[in-house]
Amino acid sequence: MQLLSSQKMFNGWQQRYRHYSQTNQCDMTFSIYIPFRVTQGYKVPTVYCLAGLTCTDENFTIKAGAQQYAAQLGLVLVMPDTSPRGEDVANDAAYDLGQGAGFYVNATEAPWAKHFQMYDYIVQELPDLIEANFDVTQERSLMGHSMGGHGALVIALRNSERYKSVSAFAPIVNPMDIPWGQKALNAYLGDNQAAWAQYDACHCINHASHRLPILIDQGTADEFYPTQLQPEKLVTAAKVAGCPIQFNLRQDYDHSYYFIASFVETHLTFHAEHLGL
């Protein structure tokens, strides 16, 4: 790993790294917040924070205001990039496909399949890297925003034995039935509806091996609600599946990081409780 930057923050360290990803066959970057407790020799659990369309690892890092709460709670935060990047990596002129829009899937279609293996990268390669190089336990939780909320929910539900909890801000929960999801899933996976269902939280929740606690916040002034974002569908599916879910509809909040910053403490406290802190 190559250390790109390191700043002291709330007596811990905010750092950014580059590494070569065997999964995505290109260089990837991630940001990590290491709280003071780790510098004192304690191992602590990790919350992986997945960002949305057009974002990099730096959006949540800079805008969410999460580090002060991670410092208080004793949580490592890991902020991955949202897709592979580089001159040799396939891209699209639209903001909702290609670089910055990996949708946390393992692509099977050309030209995406060579590099766009974000599902495996988040599930296996990145945690292995973090746990081999930082003083963290193997206790993990996931959170995400928008496309990242989709990624967090799908990954947690499909690998429920690996995580203690999952939360999302304004998540895509039913990509098979919305324009963003249909465009991305068709491009990355072709027209195989069975493959699409593997990346749809409303379908995945019926097959989760563990009933993970879920927290979702949605703003009523979100420009993408309810056309692209339909969290109530997941609430209904969770109740049918017997999965504990808390859903908060936040009056007048939009889709921005102002919304995330307003409630990120609630989400991190939720994860800390389920991580045993």
- Rounded CA-CA distance 274/276 in Å is 5
CA distance readout (Å), 162 to 30, 37, 46, 92, 115: 20, 23, 12, 33, 24
Does residue 204 have a pLDDT over 90?
yes
42-56 average pLDDT score:
97
- pLDDT at residue 208 in the model: 85
- Please enumerate, as own/partner, the contacts of 68-71 that have beta carbons within 8 Å and a separation of 24 or more: 68/10, 69/264, 69/265, 69/268, 69/269, 70/12, 70/33, 70/35, 70/268, 71/9, 71/10, 71/11, 71/12, 71/33, 71/35, 71/36
- pLDDT at residue 39 in the model: 82
260-264 average pLDDT score:
98
Backbone angles phi, psi at 18, to 5 degrees: -120, 140
Contacts of residue 111, defined as CB under 8 A and 6 or more positions apart, other chains included, come to 90
- pLDDT at residue 152 in the model: 98
- pLDDT at residue 41 in the model: 85
Give the tens place of pLDDT for each residue, 136-185: 999 999 999 999 999 999 999 999 999 999 999 999 999 999 999 999 99
- pLDDT at residue 147 in the model: 98
Return the amino acid letter for 151.
G
Catalytic amino acids? 146, 222, 255
Between β-strands 166-169 and 136-145, what pairing exists: parallel, antiparallel or unpaired?
Answer: parallel
Give the tens place of pLDDT for each residue, 74-130: 999 999 999 999 999 999 999 999 999 999 999 999 999 999 999 999 999 999 999
- pLDDT at residue 166 in the model: 98
- pLDDT at residue 254 in the model: 98
